[in-house]
A and B are shown apart, each in its own frame.
Chain A
Amino acid sequence: MTAEAQRRRTFWQILLFAAGLLVLTGISAGSVYLVNKARDDNRWVVHTIEAENQINALLLEIRRAESAARGYLLTQEAVFKADHERAIAAMPPAFDKLTRLTVDNPVQRDSMAKLGPAIQTRLGQFRQEMSFIGQGQPDKAAAVVREVASTDATAEIAKIASGMILEEERLFRQRSENADRSQTFAASMTGIGSGLVVVLALISIWLVRRSTRARDEAETRLRDANFNLESIVDERTADLREANDEIQRFAYIVSHDLRSPLVNIMGFTSELEELSGDVFRRIGGLTQVPAGGPPLAPGAPGEIMLEGADKQLSDDVSEALRFIKTSIAKMDRLISAILNLTREGRREFQPVKIDTRELIEAIVSTLAHQAAEAQAQVHIEPLPDVVSDRLALEQIFSNLVDNAIKYLKPGVPGEIRIRGRTKLGYAIFEISDNGRGIDPKDHQRIFDLFRRAGTQDKPGQGIGLAHVRALVRRLGGTMSVSSELNAGSTFTITLPIAWNVKNRNADR
């Protein structure tokens, strides 16, 4: 997965989350608004029903007053009169209440304005009736009743009231519809919003699952890659180890087998030398025969007496043989060196705890004579102890200290310093001197077998550093040099603090 895709996915997830939040907020706000509106609408519906109810109540009171008045007229019993008076008394509060309830509607206000006088008229008629009955003139009261029935007063009231009821019913229908609409709207809004949230949540889940799957796949790939890498490293290490073993065997066999013919060459060269001695002695004997005398015994020991060309010949032969012998001796030393190196390479290391300071002090004391001759001072600073092979460490440090003493600047008192520190499980040793130094172009070369750098005024085979580096590597460490010509050298050795058999096995 690329970083770009990762960023895009994150962006989409944030966007989805924001959208979900927005939808939720919208739904909440809308719901609050719509619920308020529905409550309002419902209040208006209730209000309408109340108004209608009040109209009916008022009409009922009028009818009650009317029928009580008629009952009184017929029977003249006081109970009807009381009933009539209660109805009359209930009428003004009912009227007032209706007026309050209808004040919001102009149509109803007009109707009320007409209803008020009509009711007053009817009340006046009731009072007339009642007073006639009270004066004991029922005929006149009956006449008033008849007159009222024939006039419009009652009809007028009924008409206005039914108009008002119709109006209220119209309002009721309209307001009910409004309330219904508000509720439906609220419900559908909640539904759609919830659906939207669910959809967003589903998309989110899908995205999360997809990214989880992608991550799992990446993890699997990484694990596979790691596993492959390990097996590749193992394979390569095995190959290298095999190649290394082969080189070691090869070097051993070659050096071993080279020695065999060398023994012959040297042996027969010596034979030849003796033979040539014999030959020249004989020649000497023959040339120095006194005239007529007996020849000297051939091959007799003693100085070879030769003169002129014969002596020249003898010297040439001796010189040739000397060169051959010198070369053989050198070749033998080289072969021995290779043999020793391969033998070292085959030696089993024994990890033991080593007091590094003590080990180096012992080395320095064995080199004290050389150091004194070179006017060199060796300073040993505090050194970390390590677990390693004692013999290998002795060889490493004695080679390096020996080199430091050997390659000082003539006439300058030597100053050799051995320092140590630890870092991440490794002990780092530095052997520095103020000697002649090494040209940077030779830094790699000095570690090669039989290669040396600088003025060749000291005896040596060019083996020491190659050997040291081979040992350091086998001990699981590294080695480097930093130096300038005429400015001293510092050899740095990094060794594991605790070297063990497992390291060795991995190394071999």
Chain B
Amino acid sequence: MTQPVTIIMIEDDEGHARLIERNIRRSGVNNEIVSFPNGTEAMLHLFGADGSGLVQKGNALLILLDLNLPDMSGIDILRQIKENKYLKASPVVVLTTTDDSQEIKRCYELGCNVYITKPVNYENFANAIRQLGLFFSVIQVPPAAP
């Protein structure tokens, strides 16, 4: 039995969140999107009150992560997700405004699956998000670690 993938969006900028959501929807992805405006709430949701990540065991997740969050660094969240045995299988898409090669390199080292810069050129951005939607629809999220 396949479980529908839930998209977890950690993005503090409401406008960005709205644009991303809109573009995802426009590309025909209708999965549930759970949005968090800051890192703390997202961490609570992902790792649960005990911080073990047990709450998400067996859930198929796709995480959209902004690196610039008001309360914590997105890099930290990425590291914790990839170090958690229940969450590390979930694909993480990093979204950020800079195209700093150092930062991109660091994210890939930590295990991020896709890195997308939010370009100002909206056509490109929409395109990227749509492709991401396409990517979502074909991706086979592996079953979460037992």
Q: For the complex, what is the distance from the CA of A267 to the CA of B119, rounded to whole Å?
A: 9
Q: Does B100 contact A (CB under 8 A)?
A: yes
* A-chain residues with CB within 8 Å of residue B118 when the two chains form the complex: 259, 263
Task: Indicate if the CB atoms of A256 and B98 lie closer than 8 Å.
Answer: yes
Q: Closest residue of chain A to B120, judged by CB?
A: A332
Mark each residue of chain B from 74 to 101: 1 if its CB lies under 8 Å from any CB of chain A, else 0: 0000000000000000000000011010
Task: Indicate if the CB atoms of B122 and A266 lie closer than 8 Å.
Answer: yes
Contacts A264-B13, A264-B15, A270-B126 given; indicate if A259 touches B97 (C-beta within 8 A). yes
Task: Indicate if the CB atoms of A264 and B98 lie closer than 8 Å.
Answer: no
Min C-beta distance of A249 to chain B, whole Å: 14
Q: Does A286 contact B (CB under 8 A)?
A: no
Task: Indicate if the CB atoms of A259 and B120 lie closer than 8 Å.
Answer: yes
Task: Indicate if the CB atoms of B16 and A260 lie closer than 8 Å.
Answer: yes
Which chain A residues numbered 240 to 271 have a C-beta less than 8 Å away from chain B? Answer: 256-257, 259-264, 266-271
User: Which single member of B19, B68, B100 contacts A267 (CB below 8 Å)?
Assistant: B19
Q: Does B121 contact A (CB under 8 A)?
A: yes
Min C-beta distance of B130 to chain A, whole Å: 13
A-B contacts besides A257-B68, A270-B126, 19 pairs, CB < 8 Å: A256-B98, A259-B98, A260-B68, A262-B120, A263-B15, A263-B97, A263-B118, A264-B13, A264-B15, A267-B15, A267-B16, A267-B19, A268-B19, A269-B122, A328-B120, A329-B120, A329-B121, A339-B98, A339-B100
* A-chain residues with CB within 8 Å of residue B123 when the two chains form the complex: 270
Q: Closest residue of chain B to A325, judged by CB?
A: B122
* B-chain residues with CB within 8 Å of residue A256 when the two chains form the complex: 68, 97-98
Mark each residue of chain B from 47 to 70: 1 if its CB lies under 8 Å from any CB of chain A, else 0: 000000000000000000000100
Q: Does B22 contact A (CB under 8 A)?
A: yes
Q: Closest residue of chain A to B19, judged by CB?
A: A267
Min C-beta distance of A360 to chain B, whole Å: 26
Q: Closest residue of chain A to B23, judged by CB?
A: A267
Task: Indicate if the CB atoms of B97 and A264 lie closer than 8 Å.
Answer: no
Q: Does B125 contact A (CB under 8 A)?
A: yes
Which chain A residues numbered 97 to 122 have a C-beta less than 8 Å away from chain B? Answer: none
Task: Indicate if the CB atoms of B120 and A266 lie closer than 8 Å.
Answer: yes
Q: For the complex, what is the distance from the CA of A338 to the CA of B5, rounded to whole Å?
A: 40
Q: Does A43 contact B (CB under 8 A)?
A: no
Q: Does A343 contact B (CB under 8 A)?
A: yes
Task: Indicate if the CB atoms of A267 and B13 lie closer than 8 Å.
Answer: no
Q: Closest residue of chain B to A335, judged by CB?
A: B120
Contacts A260-B16, A260-B68 given; indicate if A267 touches B125 (C-beta within 8 A). yes
Task: Indicate if the CB atoms of A263 and B98 lie closer than 8 Å.
Answer: no
Q: For the complex, what is the distance from the CA of A263 to the CA of B99, rounded to whole Å?
A: 14
Which chain B residues numbered 113 to 146 have a C-beta less than 8 Å away from chain A? Answer: 118-123, 125-126
Central interface residue in B118, B123, B125, by most chain A CB within 10 Å: B118
User: Which single member of A267, A339, A343 contacts B122 (CB below 8 Å)?
Assistant: A267
Q: For the complex, what is the distance from the CA of A270 to the CA of B121, rounded to whole Å?
A: 9
* A-chain residues with CB within 8 Å of residue B126 when the two chains form the complex: 270
Which chain A residues numbered 296 to 341 have a C-beta less than 8 Å away from chain B? Answer: 328-329, 332, 339
* B-chain residues with CB within 8 Å of residue A268 when the two chains form the complex: 15, 19
* B-chain residues with CB within 8 Å of residue A328 when the two chains form the complex: 120
> Range of interface residues on chain B?
10 to 19
A-B contact count (CB 8 A): 52
Q: For the complex, what is the distance from the CA of A266 to the CA of B123, rounded to whole Å?
A: 9
Which chain A residues numbered 33 to 56 have a C-beta less than 8 Å away from chain B? Answer: none
* A-chain residues with CB within 8 Å of residue B120 when the two chains form the complex: 259, 262-263, 266, 328-329, 332
* B-chain residues with CB within 8 Å of residue A339 when the two chains form the complex: 98, 100
Central interface residue in A260, A261, A267, by most chain B CB within 10 Å: A267
* B-chain residues with CB within 8 Å of residue A261 when the two chains form the complex: 15
* B-chain residues with CB within 8 Å of residue A271 when the two chains form the complex: 19, 22
| 23 A–B contacts, CB within 8 A, in A order | A256-B98, A259-B97, A259-B118, A259-B120, A260-B68, A260-B97, A262-B120, A263-B13, A263-B16, A264-B15, A264-B16, A266-B120, A266-B121, A266-B125, A267-B125, A268-B15, A268-B19, A270-B123, A271-B22, A328-B120, A332-B120, A339-B100, A343-B100
Central interface residue in B68, B118, B119, B122, by most chain A CB within 10 Å: B122
Which chain B residues numbered 1 to 24 have a C-beta less than 8 Å away from chain A? Answer: 13, 15-16, 19, 22
Q: For the complex, what is the distance from the CA of A329 to the CA of B123, rounded to whole Å?
A: 12
Q: Closest residue of chain A to B123, judged by CB?
A: A270
Min C-beta distance of B146 to chain A, whole Å: 40
Q: Which 6 A-B pairs have the closest CB atoms?
A: A264-B15, A270-B122, A332-B120, A267-B19, A259-B97, A266-B120
Task: Indicate if the CB atoms of A264 and B68 lie closer than 8 Å.
Answer: no
* A-chain residues with CB within 8 Å of residue B19 when the two chains form the complex: 263-264, 267-268, 271
Mark each residue of chain A from 60 to 74: 1 if its CB lies under 8 Å from any CB of chain B, else 0: 000000000000000
Q: For the complex, what is the distance from the CA of A271 to the CA of B22, rounded to whole Å?
A: 10
* A-chain residues with CB within 8 Å of residue B13 when the two chains form the complex: 260, 263-264
* A-chain residues with CB within 8 Å of residue B119 when the two chains form the complex: 263
* A-chain residues with CB within 8 Å of residue B15 when the two chains form the complex: 261, 263-264, 267-268
* A-chain residues with CB within 8 Å of residue B121 when the two chains form the complex: 266, 329, 332
Min C-beta distance of B14 to chain A, whole Å: 9
Min C-beta distance of B31 to chain A, whole Å: 21
Min C-beta distance of B102 to chain A, whole Å: 8
Q: For the complex, what is the distance from the CA of A332 to the CA of B15, rounded to whole Å?
A: 18
* A-chain residues with CB within 8 Å of residue B125 when the two chains form the complex: 263, 266-267
Min C-beta distance of A251 to chain B, whole Å: 13
